[in-house]
Structure 1
């Protein structure tokens, strides 16, 4: 393990917290801090929640959750409780608290499971179910279920079912809990077949914007060109919720084909800041995917240069 000085981490934090920097540079700084981890990195990320960018603050919360460090709980709690924050940011704070998985968070999540912002309420419902699932695990097989092959902390463990049709039916049955539908969603992701990708595409017709946004996020994880038509249609739908379109944009950036780049460029000036900033970041991700660069989160190299 390379020993990184506190001053180097603080310098990355300065890049993240500088609103004059291009959003793509600030994103790379954020993911550099996530990868480094530790108290100083958490402090640098936490300081950025006063920024004007809803997209950036959403990603701050996401990264804090993925770090799974209980030292991030106080700032995530304050963001979830702050009704002045955009629901997109508050939702991600709720999801991050679920990712950290501290059983002491149950009362807080219960408080917001009926929040007036539906995205926040649904997220807290899923996060609560995740805490209960963690508490009820008894076997090593169940433990392994929570380990994502995409090196992510997922909002729900994949289902043990492997039949695409059964998973699709579970996912699309809106009488099921969102947690169970998410479990089906992640199982379809893990199968990675044409049939499972087409089933996931149907998930973009679900009534919940939160659910649709998770489908788009999963397509970004998979980086499979077979999902491009679904993502392209989602980004092009200007009536779609911005949290869904933003995830579709970032997913297209991860897949990084010429077709993806072309559609992202068309929405660089979208009237919704979350969407246009996502397209800017996605184009940077696309450039990285098509370059010989070793690491996307490479800000450490630039601040030490």
Structure 2
């Protein structure tokens, strides 16, 4: 049983910029695993930070927690045009993940945002909420237990799903459904089909592809992820997610690129490589869990 004091101690690590970013990430995911109102409150305090990467992950975790007490702060972040686009995008996605239709009006409003990543995210979130209203339950058969921005398509033919995924004339929601269907099918053919998506679509689309490849942790995607990380012309939003995916895959060929781009001029890429290197170390260690903030706290006391 986690005590209120322990939640507070982990929360202080999360919001204290003097701690290394990798420690703050572990604190964040520890709080996400705790759940509850106090954890939501501490995570919400982090939106005052100056790291776009950290704030992006705060919003992601609040969405995955699906605690409706997070809705006001997520709406505030989405509406705050001083926040970085990748942070506002993740706040919109989190509102869709929580699944309460009361946010439909605000999501529809920001579906016309001048920042394309924000607009596309809100459009997807509206579609997700409308799909939930029609189907009345969350999609099943997700082996990763994540709350996704679109339900998987019912199609199971990898080539047909690949064609939908790469067809930029298709509605974005349909392409996302193909994306998550491929992920759920798994296997090298699905991984390679998804990796082809790193060469097309919007930055938001490519960002989501990289995230999924990180979930799948399949070595076949390492060359494409590395190429996107190395491409200076690519959106930092995509490059950051490629770095985190390489950290999650955590095989030897991932290491050199992460070490190199930990010095990148783009802060979000640099910080993502720092966090990814910590993930790499975790995946290659005997540690039982990445979100080990509580055990580390106890060990140091």
Structure-to-structure mapping, 1:178-197, within 5 angstroms? 178-197=172-191
Residues 252-273 of structure 1 show CA distances to partners (whole Å, capped at 9, x for unaligned) of: 0001111111110010110000
Matched with 2:238 is 244
State the match for 1:205 in structure 2: 199
Question: Displacement of 1:174 after TM fit?
Answer: 1.6
Which residue number corresponds to residue 109 of structure 1? 107
Q: Per-residue CA shift, 1:200-235, capped at 9, x if unaligned?
A: 111112230000000000000001111101101110
Give 2:97's aligned residue. Answer: 99
Secondary structure of the residue aligned to 1:182 is helix
2:288 matched to 1:294? yes
**Aligned 1:8-19 pairs, distance under 5 A:** 8-19=6-17
Shift of 1:145: 2.9
Q: Which range moved further: 11-20 or 198-207?
A: 198-207
Between the aligned partners of 1:37 and 1:121, the Cα distance in structure 2 is 29
Question: Which residue does the alignment assign to 1:232?
Answer: 226
CA offsets 1:88-140 (integer angstroms, 9 cap, x no match):
000000000000000111101000001010000000000000000000016xx
Asked if the contact 1:219–1:251 (Cα under 8 Å) also holds between the matched residues in 2, the reply is yes
Aligned residue for 1:33?
31
Q: List structure 1 segments (4+ residues) > 6 angstroms apart after TM superposition.
A: none
Structure 1 gaps of 5+ residues are none
Instruction: Tell whether the 8 Å contact from 1:12 to 1:299 is kept in structure 2 after alignment.
Output: yes
* Superposed displacement of residue 282, structure 1: 0.2
Larger displacement relative to structure 2 (115-124 or 201-210): 201-210
TM-score by length of structure 1 reads: 0.96
Q: Residue 48 of structure 1 is aligned with which of 42, 46, 50?
A: 46
CA RMSD of aligned residues (A): 1.0
Aligned residues: 299
| From 143, 154, 161, the counterpart of 1:167 | 161
Aligned mate of 2:76, from 61, 75, 78: 78
TM-score by length of 2: 0.97
Cα drift, residue 147 of structure 1: 5.0
The separation in 2 between residues aligned to 1:42 and 1:168, in whole angstroms, is 38
- Inter-partner Cα distance in structure 2 for 1:188 and 1:61: 25
Out of 244, 266, 281, the residue aligned to residue 260 of structure 2 is 266
CA 1:263–1:183 in structure 2 vs 1: closer, same or farther (change >3 Å)? same
In structure 2, list runs of 5 or more residues that go unmatched: none
Q: Report SS of the residue matched to 1:153.
A: coil
Could you tell me whether the CA contact under 8 Å between 1:254 and 1:282 is conserved in 2?
Answer: yes
